[in-house]
Structure 1
Amino acid sequence: MAFLDELAAREAAMRWLDERTQLGTQPVKQPDVSSFPFQGERVSLLLRQQGICKPRQLEAALSIRTTWTPPGGKPPYEDAEGPDGLVRYAYRGNDPEFFENRALRLAYQHQLPVIWFVAIEPSVYLARYPVYVVADEPDQLRVALAISEDQRFLGVPRADEVDRRRTVQRLTNLRLHQPVFRAQVLGAYERSCAMCRLKHVELLDAAHIIPDSKERGTPVVPNGLSLCSIHHRAFDANVLGLRPDFKIAVRRDILDEIDGPMLKHGLQAMEGVPLTLPRRQAQHPDRQRVEERYEEFRAAG
């Protein structure tokens, strides 16, 4: 396949993913997106054993993958946000000239869009696209990624460009951390509200126990709750709280109100109801965070 087909193949892959991920909002399993049809051939897209996927028909890397790491585990590669707000993606191995690393570098040189599969469970991924390699850092065995077109336009901020770095960080949070956090939390709670058991995914949010504006408000499952929209708003507003024994508390003045069925059944009836917890102990709410947030709830009451 000629290099001129590189962009067409990527556009075809992204359109194909749009149909299977509801425009990138729904997770996919690795076997379901391992390859896609293009010009009469099957083109590799997400390989089980390779972090950087360069199909045999293309010259440059088409996709990259971040593997699943259990809470508290150590990932095999450190894919993390840098001080400039851009995500760093590690080379494979220690040789910058390894063929997969060269393929990733070629995507950078020609500014070709790449698809990034971020694992939220074993063999379950959230697809982020288009992603662009905006800097190559071979001395540190990694590249820098722009998570969106607008972040790509901003480029790599210099150390003295504080405002631009903040903008890049905000975009990274918006385009990467928030969608991945939501997918991980909803997956842990089996796509239902932890308070009322509602299972309509389109009405579910990932709520932070400690807000992301605070130091301990990191986007990790033990700092998250899967909540329907009404209970998310109520939790954020300290109308509802979560006790350290993982039972729901309702603010005293709300319990004393008289109103319609939503107040009675949607809020007041939540008093003392046990939270539905994830199956995995490691995904349960972090008790220290819950205690800290409960003290805030009590102060609000």
Structure 2
Amino acid sequence: MVISAVAVPVDAFSYGLVTPLAAYAVACLGSALGLRCTARALSVDRSERKGWLTLGALAIGTGIFAMHFIAMMGFTAQGVDIGYDLLTTYASLLVAVVVTGVGVFLVGYKGRNSGALLGGGAITGLGVAAMHYLGMAGMRMSGEVVYETGTVVLSIGIAVFAATAALWFATSVKLFGSALGAALIMGVAVSGMHYTAMEAVSVHIHGSGLGGGGTSVIGTLTPILIGPVLLLLFVALFVSLDPMMERDRRRQWGSRPGETTGEKLEWTPFERR
């Protein structure tokens, strides 16, 4: 006898607003660091840009990865136990960093022209989407994940738009306060892409596989997230120690380097342009 597959209820907000807000905060952090590193790369000589652009790609890719899996802590499917394959999961992190890096390097070396922004935004956005769907492919459960095509296409469009906007901000926004505002906006866009993509998801299992309420994946995902979150915090510490941060904070409040304390700070190529 053939048992037909049954769609079971799924919930992306099983902990209420806790996981969406935590995911949004991490998305904002990754976006802010990525914007900062890319802007910093554009302020130095071409020969010195590689390190800052690499750091920016790490920040954006790791931030997106951490945001995704923090949000996935709130995802449950009724009667289905969910696990994750480590190889596929960390492959999604590598894809996020590498593909994001291609987009960031394109803008970092080609400058703020339409071709570089659109090309870099498209590549980076596809990297964001690839990270999401590869991360979803790493899920292990007794059921089958099915996607609604139209919503998937919409989520990819949001990812490309968000990435293009991020690269535009990175090459246009200079002051600390403005960059922070841009990061908050980008956090909304990246989180919006994730939850739009999750609207495309349904889980189907055979009737004989229906069980209880499903188990929490917090214990599974927490060890996976430790390394990427620590890496993101390391990038944040490195960026916070950059003299450009202090100089821009002074600019934000209308003072010049050395004006209030008498110290002499080095002027960068960015400031002389």
Same fold, judged at TM 0.5 (above): no
Q: Which has the larger radius of gyration?
A: 1
Structure number having the greater helix percentage:
2
Larger RCO: Structure 1 or Structure 2 (Cα < 8 Å, ≥ 6 residues apart)?
2
TM-score (norm 2): 0.30
Structure number having the greater strand percentage:
1
